Structure 1
Amino acid sequence: MALTTALNAASVYGAMSRLANRAQSVQTQAGGSGESGGLDFGNMLRDQVKSVVAQGNASEAKQAGLMAGKADLVDVVTAVSETEVALDTMVSVRDRVISAYEEIMRMPI
């Protein structure tokens, strides 16, 4: 069970990392940052995805340290829990963005 969860988590982290890299390459091809004096939602989203991926990688490193006998169990459990909360939050934000997009698409012009 724990191995399956770790493999699923690694797959999700990899997918989120590829998503962040793809968004960055699309933005670069579009010709710049697209900022007009305000906050750029794409940059903010990319930063958050990178943060979740980095948190996942740190959690995996602590898990490997535990397997090698170099980490404390409490630290590992805390890191895994924090990563799970961050990933759940990211999924919730994604669901809300999709819902908002679908609502906008239903609006009459």
Structure 2
Amino acid sequence: MDLAAIRAYAAAARQVADPDASAAAGAQAPVAGAPGFGDMVMNALSETQAVMQASESLTAQNAAGQAELVDVVTAMAAAEVQLETVIAVRDQVIRAYQEILRMPI
């Protein structure tokens, strides 16, 4: 599996979550104690990356004869579901942004 896209999303989320960058852009500070959208994106991406790395690790272990095929299939299915969820959220965010752009001023 290609992790380059997930790493790119993680880098973008880090830029969103950077308080210096948001302050420079004139964004309002988040409510104290409440996780921001950037934090939620970062958490989702890091979880997805961890699940995918675990899946790849189990695949390599299976190739070496150290892991069961059932474990590999389960890990691959979990990684696929996690990645599809991230992609679905990304698509919804893009659609919402496009709707905002279409709104009359």
Normalised by the size of structure 2, how large is the TM-score? Answer: 0.82
Report the equivalent of 1:92.
88
Flag the 1:107–1:22 CA change in 2: closer, same or farther, 3 A: closer
**Deviation sequence 1:19-42 (CA, Å, 0-9, x none):** 21343245254167x422333001
Q: How does 1:1-109 map to 2 (within 5 A)?
A: 9=1, 11=2, 13-25=3-15, 27=18, 29-30=20-21, 34-37=29-32, 38-109=34-105
Output the TM-score relative to the length of structure 1: 0.80
Gaps of 5+ in 1: 1-8
Q: CA deviation digits over 1:4-59, x for unaligned, max 9?
A: xxxxx2x2x23212321343245254167x42233300110011011101100000
SS at match of 2:98: helix
Q: Determine if contact 2:13/2:41 at 8 Å carries over to the other structure.
A: no
Superposition RMSD in Å: 1.8
Count matched residues.
98
Gap regions ≥5 residues in structure 2: 24-28
| Deviations 1:44-91 (CA, angstroms, capped at 9, x unpaired) | 001101110110000000000000000010000000001001111111
Per residue, is there more helix in 1 or in 2? 1
- TM-aligned CA deviation for residue 99 of structure 1: 0.4
